[in-house]
Structure 1
């Protein structure tokens, strides 16, 4: 696909938090990354408001191992609480994703150049991403590299089916749905031969509204075209 990328992401620790475990101040990771977490990684590689990133599949390369740590959460009102967080340890995934144009942003119609964005995305991936890569949370640093999805040997390649229960799929934001509300999606994934194939956000039938929210507007007050920036550079102006 001209709008697709395939990459591997790995790190020492990951924390894809099950929200049910946060009620008591503790955190327990899901056994596999969520759609939303992987989408965030793709957007850290390359993002523009013109685009919507779609995660197609994730392949679990290493055995699922967990490790608990005692941590001191930041409490802005004071306090010295000790909490227990359970992380995934020594993670390695292969990811397949692609982008589509965000039709809910007509102001970005001038930027809908598939060839341009795909080439920039591939260059950004080779450079390790445009922003820092995090595996679910900021304290879990990750690293990305291009790969061929399905290459190499994965630990779960010969496990026919592993049901993963009910998981958070992701969030619906107003700039992607056109609705002035923040929503959460749930689904019941099954890992087959080490691969989780994601349904699209539109295919999720378990959607709950969280709060009202408005999409950010991009116009001449907060954006500037590349041609204008180039002209300023040529004139030696500060920008």
Structure 2
């Protein structure tokens, strides 16, 4: 256990060796990791988020906002060894827990930063091909990360052809649980799907109106599945265009 300004950080392990990070004893699981096996993404929403990279021709620079146990940045480091990955978390205690209990390791390609995400994005720097937003506190998405201004700041840091991917909630009792309208106002087009058997929804914001054909996305997803050697099918995780109505419960 450890503490952060968000409260108690609780690490548990099941009989199969999976480790879980949660905020407080009664909080929802924030991260699930098999230490030493970065390709084994246990949470369906994490598989959905990385599948969104099929929208990007060649992801060379990636930003992950919200580290948790480090499942997503460690996965990306394993499957994209030539990419530059920045992982940002506002709480140094979270990064320390990720290193100590979940096998999170920085190196020449994977860099961690203790920083406010909005300030980090607004600091001049090279653009990103993909920005993945997965930052939560015990009550939900932090208010400062749930605004149109923040989403426009992420959009402004994209390289041509880039994409912003966000893990949001659909639970009516959780703060900032209706994010799709804000995303739709912030991006030229929006794709979305509901994650199975959870209150998560993954949103994919694109800064341009250029159409990505389903066939093109499927072909790219199948190629990534082969190249990455992942134990799940990226093609089945691809979201559909968001038109303002709830997506299918089973997703794409």
> TM-score, normalised on structure 2?
0.22
Higher relative contact order (CA 8 A, sep 6+): 1
- Bigger radius of gyration among the two: 1
Q: Which has the higher strand share?
A: 1
> TM-score, normalised on structure 1?
0.23
